[in-house]
A and B are shown apart, each in its own frame.
Chain A
Amino acid sequence: MTALPPLDLTHFQAFLLFAVVISVAFGFLGRRRPKDRVKYILWSLFLFLLVGIGVGWAMFPFSH
């Protein structure tokens, strides 16, 4: 197989990819009805982003 060009994502893009994919997977595995799945996906995505960005900002003072 020919080598693919390397994928160059920023930290935030990689984090966003992780959060979206895992939220969708959790939503489908954890809930049965479509409406419940959408609510679960959106809620878990929001929490992923909130915690990720929150922890990032909490570490900000230590980097300076």
Chain B
Amino acid sequence: MEDPEHIPAINRTQPPAFVRETASPGESRALAFGIAAWLLPGLGHALQKMWGRALVVFFAVGLLVFAGASMKGNVFTRQGTDAFDKLGYIADMGTGCFYLFARSIETKGADVSHAGGDYGTRLLATAGVLNLLAALHAYEAARGHKA
């Protein structure tokens, strides 16, 4: 039988553990904005009425993807054989729906036999990483952090 004298006092300053572990509505909203920002560059900022940032992210990522694919850069696929291919695929997937745009431009495939194709590969990876950074920024802004 439990001694009533030794029952720990309820800590009223902290919510119960099951409440703390559940994501708050604000957190879920921020996560949704982050995912939206990844899927369509600039959407996460547009949903928060940050129009300037939304336009800049959309056109910056779009321009880099367009230039990279037009230069016949390598748009990596899931069937990568080595670690660099897989990292390239992750970076390219960072562009969200623009990945499909890049694939649609490069109908004849990549050509990295000349330097221009290699530069294009880098521009495509840069676009993906930039969009991931912008998505993280949109997520942090939605959480109320100074942005």
Contact = CB atoms under 8 A, between A and B. Distances in A.
Interface in A1-59: 1, 3-9, 11, 14, 17-18, 21-22, 24-25, 28-29, 32
A21 B60 contact: yes
Contacts of B56: 24-25, 28-29
Contacts of A25: 56-57, 60, 130, 134
B63 interface: yes
A21 B63 CA distance: 8
Nearest to A13: B119
Contacts of B116: 6-9, 14
Nearest to A1: B104
Contacts of A4: 70, 105
B46 interface: no
A28 B53 contact: yes
- Ordered nearest first, which 10 A-B pairs have the shortest CB separation? A7-B70, A14-B119, A28-B56, A25-B60, A3-B107, A7-B71, A21-B60, A1-B104, A28-B53, A29-B137
